Structure 1
Amino acid sequence: MLFKNAKIVLENQIIELGFLKVEGTKITKIGEGKCDEPGIDLQGSWILPGFIDVHVHGGYGTDFETGTVAGYNNFAQKVAQEGITKYLQAAVTNSIADNQKILKEFSNFMSQQNGLSQSRCLGAHLEGPFISPERKGAHELKLLMAPNIGIMEELVKLANNTIRMVTYASDLQDGEFTKFLLSQNIIPSAGHSNMRASQFEADYQIGIRHITHLFNGMSGVSQHEPGLATAALLHDDVVVEVITDGIHIQPETLKLIYKIKGPNGIIVITDAMNAKGLPDGDYKLGGLEVEKEGIKVVLKGTSTLAGAGATYDYNVRFFLKTCGFSMTDLIKMTSINAAKQLQIFDQTGSIALNKLADLVILDKDLKVVKTISEGKIVFGE
């Protein structure tokens, strides 16, 4: 499969007119200039590495809590239209009994998705139950608990080692929970926490380097009581998830985040829930009633945000329009940084010879034309 007459965004270079060849699952040739070989003429469209969403609950009628193997597969097929080629399926806080059922189904899906023509799920992102009641957002208060290694061990077993990230209030433990996650090759992510900035330092020394949806569900920036958001902005090597839909974070604050963290410190996420891609109306997020209007989702009868309704490509366009960075900086925040956090950058996350052909093709308005996952066209044939 050959793509030609395209603008190709490499890690540190843009080929203004070039071609790219895919054989099997891999990229086997990248060249500049016109190509006379038969192939797919992209007529000047962009080729970028496929987007990696490390925090998406669901969409198109499926989420972590309601998914079956068939439902998870349906989501993996539908999410390709957003340019996503890899993702973590995020869970909200669930009861232990519900987790026993959900995680078994999810682990079955994980073992059966190989070879299917769809975006690839890399595992689960548990957002809760180990979070702060003061910063719970759209999580059920009665189900919250302090970080607990014994319960986490049970969840890891139930999920058959498919949990890749856990969001937790790291100030509600003594560092041992963080050490346990790292020992299991699970990314520890601080979030939904009311901590002071100074409280973050102990776990930073242990090795935490990831922040869940910066500014949302956490103590903020204050001259008298600096919180988790302050700590996240102060450490250059701490990567922050950012929901760039213009609703969760206003444009001025997006500009501030970009100015401080730069392209090496940000991962664009959706935090999307099951109503993404569906009509406006009433839905459920876990056990909570929510209502969707446009791309905004709130707990029913309140103004509390409850996940999101925007697609990944929408978030990309809004962020780029707001902050005006280069395409080489964009791919750091949509692909490279996430791949590095997940320790898969040797396989994917950028366009390079012998890497997986995880690609998204965008038109001049940055709308998705085609998505290629591990060498297969999974959207836009």
Structure 2
Amino acid sequence: MIIKNGKIVTPKKVIENGYIEIIDSKIFSINEGSTNLEGIDVNGAWIMPGFIDAHVHGGYGVDFETGNKERFNVFSKNVAKEGVTKYYQATVTNSEKDNNKYLTEFNEFMKTKNKGAKCLGIHMEGPFISKEKKGAHDQKLLIAPNIELAKKWNYISGNNIKIITFASDLQDGSFTKYCINNDILPSVGHSNMEAKEFEKDYLLGIKHVCHIFNGMSGVDQRKPGLATAALNYSDVLVEVISDGIHINNEILKLIYKIKGPEQICIITDSMNAKGLDDGKYKIGNLEVIKKGMTVKLTSNGVLAGAAATFDHNVRYYKKTCNIEMIDLAKMTSSNIAKQMKLKDTGSIEVNKLADIVVLDNELKVLLTIGEGQIIYKK
């Protein structure tokens, strides 16, 4: 496969006009200039590494709690429309019995071949979180971080739990060590900790913060919280929901100014109502109402996940902070690929997987290629 006549965003420079040669699942060559070889002519569009969503609950009528082999594949196929080539399916807080069921079904799905974007595993968000900063999680199901439960659930899932978000201030460090020793990324979130409490977690190896500013103690001049710590530690990667709803533009600018493009990963945090009509839906056992890209709990009006697409969040952050395309590729792909130790994806380089998204000049998705196969075409 040849993709030609595009602006190619590589890690070191933008090739203003070039073509990419793909053989089987990998990038074989990256070339400047035109070619007479037959291929897909993108007519000056942007060619970027495929987006990686590290925190997505669902969309298009599917989420972790309602999925099975067939339904998870419906999501996999649909999310490719957003330019996503890889993703981690996030849970919400469930009972032990329900998690046993859902994780078993997810394990079966992971044995199949994805029909669209490739799911790389589970991002477990809850039940190991703070009641004070629970967001749209069922308070009666929340518990302190529990190694035995995590072991059990990882086993049931087929060792497919790859990220766990937890309130690290509710444990003594042993849960953090369990995650690190078992190749699970420890992610701090939904925590009411004071900023100074983060140091012990950081020294143990935690360098990831779940959707910064959402579901956590914030920036206060006398009692700074987790968001403050996340900004202060320069090598901590922060997830950002850049939909224009979860975080005010001035805070988006502040995050970008302090963290820089190397320590931000754009996520959606989207739930099953993404891509569906406005109305009432459920996130776990809790009822929500979707209006446009906003989803809120019907009980108290708290934001409950999101309904924006990944490409919308990319466009919104770029416009808000006037981000260069090379830096945008870091925030959408390469940063989280490095964080998750994915050596074969996350950037447009020779011998890496051909995970590619082609975008028009307004950054709307024209074509998505996952591991050398067209998984979406406008």
TM-score, normalising length: structure 2: 0.99
For the pair 1:302 / 2:294, whether they are aligned, the reply is no
For the pair 1:374 / 2:371, whether they are aligned, the reply is yes
2:310 paired residue number: 312
How far 1:112 moved relative to its partner? 1.2
Instruction: Point out where structure 1 has 5 or more consecutive residues left out of the alignment.
Output: none
Letter in 1 for 2:360: D
Query: Can you list the C-alpha shifts for 1:277-327, whole angstroms capped at 9, x where unaligned?
Result: 000000000000000000000001432000000000000001001000100
Distance 1:231 1:173 in 2: 18
2:166 paired residue number: 168
Paired residues for 1:204-215 under 5 Å: 204-215=202-213
Distance 2:115 2:22 in 1: 16
Letter in 2 for 1:187: L
**Aligned partner of residue 220 in structure 1, secondary structure:** coil
1:364 paired residue number: 361
How far 1:28 moved relative to its partner? 0.4
Moved over 6 A (4+): none
Distance 1:17 1:159 in 2: 45
Query: Can you list the C-alpha shifts for 1:353-376, whole angstroms capped at 9, x where unaligned?
Result: 010000000001100000000000
How far 1:39 moved relative to its partner? 1.0
Q: Is the 8 A contact 1:117 1:376 kept in 2?
A: no
How far 1:45 moved relative to its partner? 0.4
Picking from 285, 288, 291, the partner of 1:290 is 288
Picking from 330, 333, 341, the partner of 1:332 is 330
- Aligned residues between the structures: 378
Query: Can you list the C-alpha shifts for 1:27-68, whole angstroms capped at 9, x where unaligned?
Result: 001100111111111100010000000000000000000001
Distance 1:233 1:134 in 2: 21
How far 1:117 moved relative to its partner? 3.7
Instruction: Point out where structure 2 has 5 or more consecutive residues left out of the alignment.
Output: none
Letter in 2 for 1:202: K
Distance 2:207 2:159 in 1: 21
For the pair 1:59 / 2:59, whether they are aligned, the reply is yes
How far 1:152 moved relative to its partner? 1.0
Q: Is the 8 A contact 2:287 2:299 kept in 1?
A: no
1:352 paired residue number: 349
Picking from 233, 238, 241, the partner of 1:240 is 238
2:275 paired residue number: 277
**Aligned partner of residue 34 in structure 1, secondary structure:** coil
Picking from 188, 191, 197, the partner of 1:190 is 188
Q: Percent identity?
A: 57
Letter in 2 for 1:47: I
How far 1:241 moved relative to its partner? 0.1
Distance 1:288 1:75 in 2: 21
**Aligned partner of residue 314 in structure 1, secondary structure:** helix
Distance 1:331 1:41 in 2: 22
Distance 2:72 2:228 in 1: 36
Letter in 1 for 2:263: G
1:3 paired residue number: 3
TM-score, normalising length: structure 1: 0.98
